[in-house]
Structures are given as structure tokens and as C-alpha cells.
Homo-oligomer: A and B are copies of this chain.
């Protein structure tokens, strides 16, 4: 009875589990790419992080590029959905956005890494259309989720009617990414704290 349950639910960690192996490769790949960039990401380092070997990597992914694509589509896109799309689905989007901004960490260790989406976008967009399009899709869906929430908020009289939802969504994202980028370089908590105040002030000014 225990044996049958294992097949779907309690998978032993040390035995064979291709989905779990693939997950570990994606997670390890993401961390490596996040820290060093895609082009400088070392596949041997990815394997060490994941605790597997070359055979496992090239069984699950055709090559380095395919791993990079999967990291975008499955890891980064999912992080974006968790952080932005889902909270924006209900409630007052202004409150939601203020909460997201407010909870942005200003410790040096946190600022240091920057935004996973923007890091990859800046590095790869001019170099590879496969990467650029996949990242542009994330941006488009991010923008769509926010603009949609703005339209709903206007209908529910939570957001000023004179604001264009699309322009505002683009503006909020640009502002946010801009501050995160500057903070990543300056390593100065004061910069990001100033940014958080300014962004929250602006979000407040959007209320109906």
C-alpha cells in the first residue's frame, strides 16, 4: 500500500524522478544565470548546484539555449505571476501595488542581484530573438495584468478616470525597474528608500 502511494505522491528523493531532476536543473540554472548572466553561466557550475551530471542535463534539455529558454518560460515567468499577476487579480490594485513596493527589501544583499527579468532582458534582448521574444512576452503579460487591474479599478471608482491604464501600467513598471536598476549599481539603501517613497506617493495620487 505504501509502495503504490509512492508512485505519485511520496517520491523518494534519492531514487529516479525525472520531473524532480528537471526541476533541480531549472532552479540551479536560474540561480547561475541570475548571478553571472546567461552568456557567462557555466553549465558545469549548474550541474554542481543541481547535484547531477552532464548526462542528466542533455537528457532533459537539447542544449544551453534550450535551458535558457525554459528558465525564462518556467521560472522567471512564474515568479512574475506570483509577485504581480495573482495579487493584482482582486482588491484595489493601488493598495496591491503599494504593498508590493513597500515590501521591496532595501538591504544591500537584496538589492545586489537586481531584477531577474530585467537582468536577462538587458543582456540578451539585442543578441538573440529567441530570448528577447520570450522575455517580451513576460513584460507584455505583466503589463496586461496591471493595465487590466487598472481598468477594473476605474470601473469600480477606485482609480482616476483621466488616467490611461496602458500608459500608467508602463509607467509603474518603468519606474520600478528603473529604481531597482540604480539600486543594484549604487548599493545605497537610501536611493531605494527614496524611490519607494516616491513610487508610493505617485500610486496614492492615482486614487479616484
Which A residues have a C-beta under 8 Å from some C-beta of B? Answer: 35-37, 39-40, 112-114, 118-119, 121-123, 125-127, 132, 135-136, 139-140, 166-167, 170-171, 173-179, 181-182, 184-187, 191, 194-195, 197-198
Given contacts A36-B127, A39-B37, A112-B126, contact A174 B179 (CB under 8 A): yes
CB-CB under 8 A from A113, the residues of chain B are 126
Asked if residues B195 and A170 are in contact (CB atoms below 8 Å), the reply is yes
- With both beta carbons as reference points, the residue of chain B lying nearest to A179 in the complex is identified as B174
Partner of A177, one of B35, B39, B123, B178: B178
Cα of A195 to Cα of B195 in the assembled complex, Å: 18
Partner of A139, one of B37, B140, B175, B186: B186
- With both beta carbons as reference points, the residue of chain B lying nearest to A125 in the complex is identified as B185
Cα of A186 to Cα of B141 in the assembled complex, Å: 12
Given contacts A39-B39, A167-B194, contact A173 B184 (CB under 8 A): no
Asked if residues A181 and B181 are in contact (CB atoms below 8 Å), the reply is yes
Cα of A185 to Cα of B135 in the assembled complex, Å: 7
CB-CB under 8 A from A112, the residues of chain B are 125-126
CB-CB under 8 A from A118, the residues of chain B are 122, 181
Cα of A126 to Cα of B174 in the assembled complex, Å: 21
Asked if residues A122 and B125 are in contact (CB atoms below 8 Å), the reply is no
Asked if residues B198 and A171 are in contact (CB atoms below 8 Å), the reply is yes
Partner of A182, one of B40, B170, B198: B170
